[in-house]
Structure 1
Amino acid sequence: MRNFSETLYDAYAQEFRVDELLHEVKTDHQHLVIFKNVIFGRVMALDGIVQTTEKDEFIYHEMMSHVPILAHGNVESVLIVGGGDGGMLREVCRHDTVRRVTQVEIDQAVIDMCRRYLPGHSAGAYDDPRAEIVIDDGIHFVRETQQRFDVIISDSTDPIGPGEALFTESFYAACRKCLNPGGILVTQNGVAFHQMDEIRQTGEHLESLFGDWHFYTAAVPSYVGGAMYFAWATDEPRHRRTDIATLRERYRKSGITTRYYNPEIHFSAFALPQYVLEAVGKSDNEYL
């Protein structure tokens, strides 16, 4: 393999030079490849789609974890659906207030390979005594579990193959059932410029289920095409209105050092461009 060309879109692709192929395997669920690139470091792709890189993973993982946890302000239990690379688990476990983290990953091979070839992603989080790792289909788990969580993070692949079920109304409804009162669900929702239909559909599902829903953004270089979008859903509208002064105090008390996240980024991340607001049926950036 001399070059890796992503297969997410039919008419457009980004290409990486493969400086060293580290691992390639067809697991029971998907095709996994990990390679080195001089710019992005180690890169993992599943079924032809880049999932994470050493160089920019901190942006994605910090924004999906710290935004809901610090907006909530009293998170003790977290469910991560997917996230086999371990980066989300690492960031969640940095919060001392979190007493229990359950991670549900469909493919044990992803965890095993990432612990071996991308150890900096999990950085020992898989050995944290608060972490329970469950190998199961995410939608099956949320439908069947009796556990309840303050925050649910759906760190899924794109809605292709194993990740497709994690973008359905039935999955979001099952997540709502698993949330404690005032709990927050966040999900990865792709790049709006290329994947607007996915974002529009997610908005329709969340509007039918939750009292407050929206999207927030972060720019992740290896997810090309503009800002990455994260869906936000809760029955407690006050969480999205958490003011900067409160966020600053919670961030200070957490003692966490971040590379991308800060309270100002948190607050401004919910400001969406007009074309996205119109696409998802929002009249304005309410609460800002």
Structure 2
Amino acid sequence: MTTDSWVNETLYAAWGQRFRVVRELAREKSDFQDIMVFESETHGRVMLLDGVVQITEADEFVYQEMLTHVPLLAHGDARRVLIIGAGDGGVLRRVLEHRNVEKAVMVEIDGAVIRLAKQHLPGIAGDAWNDPRAEVIVGDGIDYVRQAEPGSFDVVIVDSTDPIGVGEVLFTEEFYANAARLLSERGLIVNQCGVPFMQADELRETNLRRAKSFADTWAYVAAVPTYVGGYMTLGWAAKDASLRAVPAEEVRRRAQAAGILGRTRYWTPEIHAAAFHLPPYIAENLSP
């Protein structure tokens, strides 16, 4: 909602944030959601879906780097990556920064998000849209996961809205069961699980659903300024528990081999390893 020259984002019924608008760039109602893109005074260009901030040019690197580099480097040899959502292209860009990745399939249900991101947020994805290793599908990620061949991907990255509306189906037991089937022997899946200081139920319930299909479930954290309320959690589910215990020095070696060491603004090998060590108020939501 725009009030005078401000956009107000209501996050938790009685708490939110606001941005001063320099210029409104796009406002569109797609088949799935309301989309708005505007130039802010403090955060560069901003995209909202159904009134909720999804990405800003100023701090997108925090979320995108942690959602991408942590699972790929924890795996250590991820060659086939499936991305669900992430219509702005930022995750696709970071995945393709890994020189060992041979194929990245991105499935985004709302083609309008991709179109508006290309038009108004071109720096988020960079040249990723044209990379020959990328396959971008405008379609239903649930159907894609349901129909994918067993063992066809090494890592799945889910970048979705919260589990309401269009994003709700990406947090179900069926979705995680199908993800486990399409993943290779050491495969893993990560997804955003909200800000646990305000959304503890989301983390707790999602973790219980993941645990029915994966041997190792947990979460790791990132401090994303725009996602207010403290640490944001990124849900983790893997077939091999050792993948979230890779020492920082081994992560560094893998990052060097992948070609991303020194190219990040938030992620480092030390932050990678430390991100799995959770404050008690977060960890208590991950108990069996």
In the alignment, structure 1 residue 53 sits paired with structure 2 residue 56: yes
Find the aligned partners of 1:235 and 1:86 in 2 and give their Cα distance. Answer: 27
2:200 — aligned with what?
196
2:229 — aligned with what?
225
Find the aligned partners of 1:153 and 1:121 in 2 and give their Cα distance. Answer: 17
Find the aligned partners of 1:66 and 1:122 in 2 and give their Cα distance. Answer: 15
CA RMSD of aligned residues (A): 1.1
2:28 — aligned with what?
25
Structure 1 position 200, deviation (Å): 0.4
Alignment match of 1:117 (pick from 107, 120, 132)? 120
Equivalent pair of 1:158/1:190 in contact (CA under 8 Å): yes
Q: Secondary structure at the match of 1:180?
A: strand
Q: Unpaired segments of 5 or more residues in structure 2?
A: none
Find the aligned partners of 1:53 and 1:281 in 2 and give their Cα distance. Answer: 33
Find the aligned partners of 2:21 and 2:141 in 1 and give their Cα distance. Answer: 32
Alignment of 1:209-248 (within 5 A): 209-248=213-252
Alignment match of 1:127 (pick from 126, 130, 134)? 130
Q: Secondary structure at the match of 2:198?
A: coil
Find the aligned partners of 2:270 and 2:125 in 1 and give their Cα distance. Answer: 26
Equivalent pair of 2:218/2:286 in contact (CA under 8 Å): no
Equivalent pair of 1:32/1:45 in contact (CA under 8 Å): yes
AA aligned to 2:87 is G
In the alignment, structure 1 residue 151 sits paired with structure 2 residue 155: yes
Encode CA deviations 1:131-155: one digit per residue, 9 max, x unaligned: 1111111111101222610000000
Encode CA deviations 1:28-82: one digit per residue, 9 max, x unaligned: 1110000011110000000010000000000100001100111111110000000
Find the aligned partners of 1:9 and 1:278 in 2 and give their Cα distance. Answer: 21
Q: Which moved more, 1:75-84 or 1:15-24?
A: 15-24
Q: Secondary structure at the match of 1:271?
A: coil
Find the aligned partners of 1:244 and 1:280 in 2 and give their Cα distance. Answer: 23
Q: Which moved more, 1:140-149 or 1:93-102?
A: 140-149
AA aligned to 2:259 is G
Structure 1 position 247, deviation (Å): 0.7
2:267 — aligned with what?
261
Alignment match of 1:105 (pick from 104, 108, 114)? 108
Relative to the length of structure 2, the TM-score reads: 0.96
Alignment match of 2:281 (pick from 275, 282, 285)? 275
Find the aligned partners of 2:132 and 2:266 in 1 and give their Cα distance. Answer: 27
In the alignment, structure 1 residue 142 sits paired with structure 2 residue 114: no
Q: Secondary structure at the match of 1:80?
A: strand
Alignment match of 1:167 (pick from 157, 168, 171)? 171
2:40 — aligned with what?
37
AA aligned to 2:162 is D
AA aligned to 2:119 is R
AA aligned to 1:229 is T
Relative to the length of structure 1, the TM-score reads: 0.96
AA aligned to 1:253 is A
Find the aligned partners of 1:164 and 1:8 in 2 and give their Cα distance. Answer: 17
Equivalent pair of 1:8/1:48 in contact (CA under 8 Å): no
Find the aligned partners of 2:190 and 2:83 in 1 and give their Cα distance. Answer: 10
Q: Which moved more, 1:233-242 or 1:79-88?
A: 233-242
Q: Which moved more, 1:140-149 or 1:202-211?
A: 140-149
Structure 1 position 196, deviation (Å): 0.5
Q: Secondary structure at the match of 2:197?
A: coil
1:285 — aligned with what?
none
Find the aligned partners of 1:64 and 1:52 in 2 and give their Cα distance. Answer: 13
Structure 1 position 22, deviation (Å): 0.6
Q: Secondary structure at the match of 1:55?
A: coil
Find the aligned partners of 2:26 and 2:236 in 1 and give their Cα distance. Answer: 35
